[in-house]
Amino acid sequence: MRKYLIALVVILSILCSTVFTSAATDPAVVIVNPVSNSTVYSNNLLISIKVTQPKTIKVKVFEEKQMVNGTLSAVSVLPLAPSNSASKTNFTSIPVIAAASFTSTNNLSFYTKQLNDLKQGLYRIQIDTVDATGQILYSNNSYVIVKEKEAEANADTKIFETPQSGTLQFLQNVLKTIFGN
Amino acid sequence: MSMPKNIEKVKSALLVVLLLSTILLLYFFWENTSYNKISVHEDEINTEIPLSRDVTKPSKIIVSFGAGNYTVIPLKESNVWDSNLSDEVSIIKEFNKFGQSENILVEEITEAQFIEIMKFKSILAEFSYFIPFENFCEEYQIKKTQSYDVIENISSIGYSAESPDSLFIYDEKNKKYFRLVADSDHTDFLGLITSIEDKGYAPYYPLSVYLGVDNSILIPLDIETSMRNFYFRQDSYMHQVDKINEMAESFFGESFDFVRKITEDNGTIIYMYGYGQKVLIVNTDGSFEYKEELISESSAQLKYFDALDIALKFVSTHGSWESLDGVKVTPYIKDVDIDSSKKGSIKFTFGMDVNGVPLFYENGESIIVEVTLGQVTYYKRDMIDYDQEELDSIEAMSSQVGFSAVNMIAQNYEYIYKIISENKDGRINKDKNIIFEEVASLISNIQIGYFKPIVTNTINNQVRPVWIVTIEEYNIYFDLFNAEPVGYSQK
């Protein structure tokens, strides 16, 4: 009985540590851009990943789609909350680029890549830290919403007040000339 | 009877000639001038003189396509700034159109407003110096209104599609930002931006996006270039006596009247006119330095572009705008120092570009000319010579991808920090993360160019392609392809 209990504890420990490892993110790998769970108003997206130890990473990008009336459709960007983990399980991940490998040989390197002509939707950036054999040691995921470029232009951008009339401007200039600024 | 009359006529003629000769001789002595200033040299007529507008180019033109997408127009594409072609749109042409509006209001705005408006679809030309705005409008024939009087200088000019009836000007000397508002939009700046976008462009992003630090300077995502190392020679060597003599003659005339020649122990040659009113120093590194005492008694300050014309003409007749062996380079104004305390002197520093790429020196500048009250009082020339055909064939080889700018900083931030920390307390023993963030936030410019090292020997000297990182008063240079440090210079 005692032996069975010990064996059970050992097996559970191994299982739990494996689960813990596969869910853990690599502290030496940070996605600088895009900021996780942010919205980008552009068809182009710059990915910048900071690596602070010598290691190899594999970068994959997916578009998350969901089944709507039997058709895979782009995820509606409003009013989705990508931080809601329950909603993510209903997605189908469509690869946008093939896995790109990057090896850092010092204690500070950056992986950068631009993705062009992205359509509106939800995207997931997956970064796997791999060892020499290709086994995944850590995995980081980051979500970003891509919206049409025009959406930003419609935002309220009242940067300037209405300029003063010509007479008032003239008087102001005269006063400035007499009394200085 | 006719004989005495003829004799009288001859005597009268002789008297007139003697009188004129006396006046001329008195002029030479009183005005302290020499014959070569009056005589016309053939070289003077045939030498190519660059136009003021040809050398006046922004150091960069930033185009924003909106939503965080940018590009930077390189120096060699100066037609975006100013073009002679009638079917080509340029910033100057559009500024001229803007100036045709009947009512233009000028209001001062804040730096934050300026930065914010330029984030939208926009185009911004930035100079590394400032030009008096009144002189700028005269030179470019821009119709000026009284409302422009509040703008003293121009360092940058921009247009934003978010405010299509406006232009934006920055005066770097006074740290002031202005918005010029017309009654309607007569310009085609939007067409210019669209044409740049349609042709395809090299993407640039703010440093903040790459590194996560607070710095909005733009750097390219990647660089592909045909630039290569190439050998260079000094403009002159001390054993090239004929070349040096010819250069000296351009200052003192062929006869070297009243000119002493002194050769120092280290090989430097000094030509001195009179008691030092004019001095020419020929340095062993191939550079020439000329100083002239101010003789003008006028108190009126010369206008900026008039002073520039004098500087351009002076260089063309004293060494020319090519190397002394005729290699063509393209000059541009790199910096201007207007010093009203020194009787209104204006010092122009000229840079050179080699096949469209700016050339940087580890020590010194290509050409410096100081104009005071219409007279050139200082001229320093340090040009290089090289085989143009050899360079053209090297650059015709296939392009190579340069080292990533971002990783160039990541690889060298400690080296950069060491340079900017020399002789500065309070910048020691800091954590690496703090050092990286401090360096990344202090960088004010990153660009590519050619780098000329300090001459160490006469045989193996190579100009090499580099990244140039500008931080505080330093330019720090890194090999363009492996990011190894190659030197630095201090302003």
pLDDT digits (tens, 9 = 90+) for B130-175: 999 999 999 999 988 888 999 999 999 999 999 999 999 999 999 9
Q: How many residues does chain A have?
A: 181
Q: What is the pLDDT of residue A88?
A: 55
The distance of A120 to chain B (nearest Cα, Å) reads: 14
* Cβ–Cβ gap A108/B203 under 8 Å: no
* Cβ–Cβ gap A166/B103 under 8 Å: yes
Mean pLDDT of B369-375: 93
Strands B345-354 and B259-263: unpaired
Residues in A touching B177 (Cβ below 8 Å): none
In sequence order, what are the residues at sequence separation of 6 or more whose Cβ sits closer than 8 angstroms to the Cβ of residue A15?
none
pLDDT tier at B464 (50, 70, 90 boundaries)?
Answer: very high
Strands B367-372 and B345-354: antiparallel
Task: Identify the burial level of B35 via C-beta atoms within 10 angstroms of its C-beta, where 0-12 means exposed, 13-18 middle and 19 or more buried.
Answer: exposed
Can you give the pTM of this predicted structure? 0.85
A33, A106, A159 member nearest B209 (Cβ) = A33
Q: How many CA atoms lie within 13 A of B173 on its CB side?
A: 14
Q: What is the pLDDT of residue B362?
A: 95
Q: What is the pLDDT of residue B42?
A: 42
Q: What is the pLDDT of residue B45?
A: 42
Q: Which two tokens stand for residue B323?
A: 């190397």
* Cβ–Cβ gap A108/B406 under 8 Å: no
The distance of A131 to chain B (nearest Cα, Å) reads: 22
pLDDT tier at B33 (50, 70, 90 boundaries)?
Answer: low
Residues in B touching A40 (Cβ below 8 Å): 67-68
Residues in A touching B436 (Cβ below 8 Å): 108
* Cβ–Cβ gap A173/B150 under 8 Å: yes
Distance CA B357, CA B463 (A): 12
Out of B206-220, B265-279, B329-343, B357-371, least confident range: B329-343
pLDDT tier at B91 (50, 70, 90 boundaries)?
Answer: very high
* Cβ–Cβ gap A160/B205 under 8 Å: no
Pairwise pLDDT comparison (B300 vs B293), residue with the higher score? B293
Q: What is the pLDDT of residue A26?
A: 93
> What are the beta bridge partners of residue A63?
A94, A123
Using alpha carbons, select from A144, A143, A136 the residue that is nearest to residue A24: A136
pLDDT tier at B43 (50, 70, 90 boundaries)?
Answer: very low
Q: Which residues in B184-245 belong to E strands, given as ranges?
A: 204-206, 218-220, 224-225, 230-231, 233-234
Q: What is the pLDDT of residue B27?
A: 73
In sequence order, what are the residues at sequence separation of 6 or more whose Cβ sits closer than 8 angstroms to the Cβ of residue B135?
B303, B304, B305
Distance CA B313, CA B311 (A): 6
B150, B181, B210 member nearest A48 (Cβ) = B210
Kindly provide the ipTM of the predicted complex, given to two decimals: 0.83
Distances (CA, A) of B437 to B10, B208, B427, B475: 90, 11, 13, 19
Mean pLDDT of B364-371: 96
Q: What is the pLDDT of residue B298?
A: 66
Q: What is the pLDDT of residue B406?
A: 96
Q: What is the pLDDT of residue A14?
A: 53
DSSP output for B449-491? EEEEPPP--SS--EEEEEEEEEETTEEEEEETTT--EEEEEE-
Q: What is the pLDDT of residues B231-273, one digit of tens each?
A: 999 999 999 999 999 999 999 998 888 899 999 999 999 999 9
**Cα torsion through B342, B343, B344, B346, rounded to 10:** -50
Q: Which two tokens stand for residue B268?
A: 């430097």
Residues in A touching B411 (Cβ below 8 Å): 106, 108
* Cβ–Cβ gap A108/B103 under 8 Å: no
Residues of chain A with pLDDT under 70: 9-23, 76-89, 150-157, 161-181
> What are the beta bridge partners of residue B291?
B279, B378
Question: At CB < 8 Å, which residues of chain B contact A?
Answer: 66-69, 103, 105-107, 109, 113, 116-117, 120, 146-147, 149-150, 162-163, 179, 181, 203, 205, 209-212, 221, 404, 406-407, 410-411, 413, 432, 436
Interface of A with B in 110-139 (CB under 8 A): 110, 112, 114
**Cα torsion through B430, B436, B438, B444, rounded to 10:** 150
Mean pLDDT of B50-75: 93
Q: Does A31 touch chain B (CB under 8 A)?
A: no
Q: What percent of chain B has pLDDT over 70?
A: 92
* Cβ–Cβ gap B147/A110 under 8 Å: no
Using alpha carbons, select from B285, B390, B384, B395 the residue that is nearest to residue B326: B384
Q: Which two tokens stand for residue B6?
A: 């003829």
B105, B211, B413 member nearest A169 (Cβ) = B105
Q: What is the pLDDT of residue B103?
A: 86
Q: What is the pLDDT of residue B365?
A: 96
Q: Does A29 touch chain B (CB under 8 A)?
A: no
Q: What is the pLDDT of residues B381-424, one digit of tens each?
A: 999 999 998 888 888 888 999 999 999 999 999 999 999 998 67
B68, B181, B410 member nearest A42 (Cβ) = B68
Cβ atoms of B130 and B155 within 8 Å: the answer is yes
Q: Which of B118, B194, B403, B407 to probe the A interface (max A CBs under 10 A)?
A: B407
* Nearest residue in A to B405, CA atom: A110
Cβ atoms of B84 and B212 within 8 Å: the answer is no
Q: Which two tokens stand for residue A160?
A: 């300037």
Given CA atoms B154, B158, B162, B164 in this order, what sign does their dihedral have?
Answer: positive
Q: Which of B64, B71, B107 to probe the A interface (max A CBs under 10 A)?
A: B107
